[in-house]
Amino acid sequence: MEAINLKGTYDTPDVVLNAEEGVFEISGRSYPEDTAEFYIPILEWINNYVAQPNTETKFTFRLDYFNSSSYKPFLDILVKLGKLNSNGHAVTIQWYYKDGDWDIKEAGEEFSEIVDVPFTYETF
């Protein structure tokens, strides 16, 4: 699978999706002007990945902040990874938040209540 390697801008995150190297990460700020335009290629990549996954997947979210329109594509990614996890592939979500930003931590905890995949929490 061809890797995705997007450099973040002021309102879009850095995205690295590289199955060969086992790196899956969304980091920075996410409040694009057009959420669909930004996230559709990422969700398509995830669709292809879950059809041919690695034995183990550690997916990292490391966000400064994200807007309400980013919640749904994030949930979509997590639901797909949750299914992968339920099908016997080891999936872990590494949810990073800035030390003291309890809102971002809570957002991770709330996602974890919806999907069937283990989360770990760390500060940056």
Partner 1 sequence: MTKLMGGEAHGGFINWYESLQQNNILFMFKGDFNQELVNSIVQVINSLSDLLEEDVLVKSRMTSTIIECLQNICRHGESAEDGSLLKPGIILLRKKEDEYILDIGNSLVTKKVGALQEYIDKVNKMTDEDLKSFHKEVLVKTELFGKFGADLGLINVARKAKRGFKYGFKEINDLYSFFSLEIAISGNGQ
Hey, is 60 helix, strand or coil?
strand
Q: List the x/- string, 5-24, binding to partner 1 by CB under 8 A.
A: -----xx-------------
Q: Does 119 bind partner 1 (CB under 8 A)?
A: no
State phi, psi for 88 to the nearest 5 degrees: 95, 0
Give least dist CB 94 to partner 1, A. 19
Alpha carbon distance 64, 104 (integer Å): 8
Structure tokens given for 101: 């930003």
Alpha carbon distance 89, 100 (integer Å): 33
Q: Does 33 bind partner 1 (CB under 8 A)?
A: yes
Q: Does 27 bind partner 1 (CB under 8 A)?
A: no
Binding residue (CB under 8 A) for partner 1 from 20, 55, 88, 100: 100
